[in-house]
Structure 1
Amino acid sequence: MRQRNKPWADDFLKEHRKLIIPNPSEYKGRWKDVFENDRPIHIEVGTGKGQFIVGMAKQYPDVNFIGIEIAKSIVVTAAQKVLAAENDNILLLNEDASDLREYFADNEIDGIYLNFSDPWPKNRHEKRRLTYKKFLEQYQKILNPSGKVIFKTDNRGLFEYSLVSLTDFGMNLEEVNLDLHAIEDTTNIMTEYEERFSAKGQPIYRLKASF
């Protein structure tokens, strides 16, 4: 989907450098210093417009969250939500998440959220899927031994692919849910996409896995 250009985005990024962190590779291994506390750190890859990460930060105030979003026009919208909610446990990165090891040290992260990632349905694009083995290698590197990967999607094909990919990689599947909203999980924070799809009756799939 083409994003609407926001001419003011560059100025916004400069004005809010303490929230949208520039040059994040400089803080690799030192994110707890940036947050100025020793809380666990969870990341969301593809944070979108910020509804999920803001909700999670409110629900879990003793956890620090880092949202990664490559689209400048979208990350500034997420930042506006963070500022409005006055969350002090969120940071944002306007970066490409193709190699998370550029930004995070071994065992530095306690949880990874993959929400409604691009399914890349064509076989030739398999390596771009965020549950492809190349990405799983990254997650294994930056997650501490007790950390989890939590993945949600509305795409049945991507979900089935992910189950096979994670299993082949040797991960432990702790939850496999084919209709998340049917179980009425009160702790589930919905993304903007999730609200839209579930309102149309589309089942939401979720898995939780560890290495």
Structure 2
Amino acid sequence: MRTRKKAITRDQLTHYDNYICTNPEDYRSKWHEYFSNDNKIHVELGTGRGKFLITLAQRNPHINYIGLEMKEPLIFDAVFKAQNIRLNNIAFLHYNAYNLEKTFSDKEVDLLFINFCDPWPKKRWAKRRLIHGNFLVIYNRLLNNGSEIHFKTDNEKLFEFSLNEFCQYDYKLKNITFDLHNTEAPDIVTTEYEDKFVSKGMRIYRCEAVNRETDC
């Protein structure tokens, strides 16, 4: 008989405060103090079990990485992975991306990753999509001038929607691909979801959007 995995509680998450920041709002505009350095800050919305962000953190020790995730079991798995390899340039937030402005101040983020977010397929749900224009306005404030959003999805309609939204809100698009794993893109870093999709022969859509310059 298959046993059910025991649920992780929020109290248990506080036992891993070396990797989980339980008071992220206190570090708004102070993330360099949290990491005790002035390195650039790269953020992933919906980090899942952490494969993508942890791989980047291993490869780039000179960059600070922050992953937001709402599901306790997933963030717990990510923390175990980071702890096992003793990373010191990564942090995880058990936090909703909808509250991003409470966590980061203007121009505090240098790169934003949005990987395989919920497509919210119905038209009336469009404003919930993390690449809807309402969010793009917020991201533009939080991102340093000339910084980028890297977006990946397996959903073609969501990808087309994202391209239109990026253009409408004055982001400059580059490196657009409608089949990432059948291109010559070098050294692709994947997520757990992405590995499953690719193994089933599904296409992965990706683009990079450069934010417009704004005054602080």
TM-score bracket relative to the smaller structure: over 0.9
Matches within 5 A, 1:50-199: 50-199=50-199
Measure the CA separation in 1 of the matches of 2:186 and 2:6: 35
Matches of 1:66 and 1:6, distance apart in 2: 26
- The aligned counterpart of 2:214 is none
TM-score calculated relative to the size of structure 1: 0.94
SS of aligned partner of 2:157: helix
State the secondary structure of the residue aligned to 2:29. Answer: coil
Shift of 1:79: 0.8
CA distance in 1, matches of 2:104, 2:131: 18
Residues matched between the structures, number? 208
Q: Deviations over 1:146-169 (max 9, x none)?
A: 210000001001000000111111
22-31 or 72-81: which moved more? 72-81
Report percent identity of matched pairs: 38
Aligned partners of 2:200, 2:167: CA distance in 1, in Å? 31
Name the residue aligned to 2:206: 206
Unpaired runs of at least 5, structure 1? none
CA distance in 2, matches of 1:122, 1:35: 40
Closer/same/farther in 2, CA of residues 33 and 136 from structure 1, 3 Å limit: same
Q: Show CA shifts across 1:75-131 (max 9, x none).
A: 111111111222111000001110311100100000000000010000010011010
Contact preservation (8 Å) 1:113, 1:151 = yes
What is the distance in 1 between the residues matched to 2:86 and 2:185? 26
Structure 2's unaligned 5+ residue stretches are: 212-216
Shift of 1:11: 4.6
Within 1, Cα distance between the matches of 2:116 and 2:7? 27
Q: 2:176 and 2:121 mapped to 1: Cα distance?
A: 21
The residue matched to 1:209 in structure 2 has which SS?
strand
SS of alignment partner, residue 139 of structure 1: helix
Give the TM-score normalised by structure 2: 0.92
Displacement of 1:5 after TM fit? 6.2
- Map of 1:1-12 to 2, 5 A cutoff? 6-12=6-12
Counterpart residue type for residue 123 of structure 1: K
Alpha carbons of 1:6 and 1:43: their partners in 2 closer, same or farther (altered >3 Å)? farther
Confirm or deny: 8 A CA contact 1:101 1:141 kept in the other structure: no
User: RMSD across aligned C-alpha pairs, in angstroms?
Assistant: 1.3
Q: Which amino acid aligns with 2:30?
A: R
